[in-house]
A and B are shown apart, each in its own frame.
Chain A
């Protein structure tokens, strides 16, 4: 059971917009700690997609965006492409776990 809750799967057709939620609590996201998002393509290491809630590292397309409100965060992907099919993970800090960083359970994005 992950500290951060994500839907197991989402799907969308090419060109559509999808969102992936990440729900936490008052000891992590709700306490104001940053949320980061990672993309993991099949058989590869995770790649940083969004840092600090809504910032993109250089090289990440602006089709990817992040937001945070209360105890939840969201990743939005617009103009869905076949190459976006991957697992997506959110990550934050939890003050109740002695300095632990925590990940969500991951969401499998299927491009129909």
Chain B
């Protein structure tokens, strides 16, 4: 059974760095073809893809946010970490991690999401 769970602070201050952890089970990021992506959704708005890390440690970032994002993995812990620097109130959103790779680049399993509010 594949599960993913996001964890991190619920509240960050403007200019701070956000660190989110995705802990997963039921698959391994050392398996060829497996990937994990981060996606966010501001309240009442659309989904926005942020970043992806592959089994071979290839990394991809949203063009508009790439200067602020870093994605990494700890295969032994089944975790993927996303950091986003210089947080702003417009970054307030629910942040999801999701698995990719079983059905091409479709996101077939999602975490429940974690709401991050940026406010002083």
Contact = CB atoms under 8 A, between A and B. Distances in A.
Interface of A: 2, 34, 36, 38, 44-48, 51-52, 55, 57, 89, 91, 93, 97-106
B60 A48 contact: no
Contact of A89 (B46, B108, B109, B111): B46
Contact of A51 (B47, B52, B61, B108): B108
Contacts of B87: none
Interface residues of B, number: 24
A34 B107 contact: no
Contacts of B107: 36, 38, 46, 48, 91
25 contacts: A2-B46, A34-B106, A36-B105, A44-B112, A45-B112, A48-B103, A48-B107, A48-B108, A55-B103, A89-B46, A91-B47, A91-B107, A93-B105, A97-B63, A98-B66, A99-B60, A100-B49, A100-B61, A101-B37, A101-B52, A101-B105, A102-B49, A103-B47, A103-B49, A104-B46
Given A55-B103, A97-B63, A46 B110 contact: yes
A106 B47 contact: yes
Interface of B is mostly: strand
B109 to A, nearest CB: 8
B62 interface: yes
Contacts of B104: 34, 51-52
B43 to A, nearest CB: 12
Specify which of B52, B105, B108 lies most central, judged by the most chain A CB atoms within 10 Å of its CB.
B105
B24 interface: no
A91 B106 contact: yes
Given A45-B112, A48-B106, A103 B46 contact: yes
B67 to A, nearest CB: 12
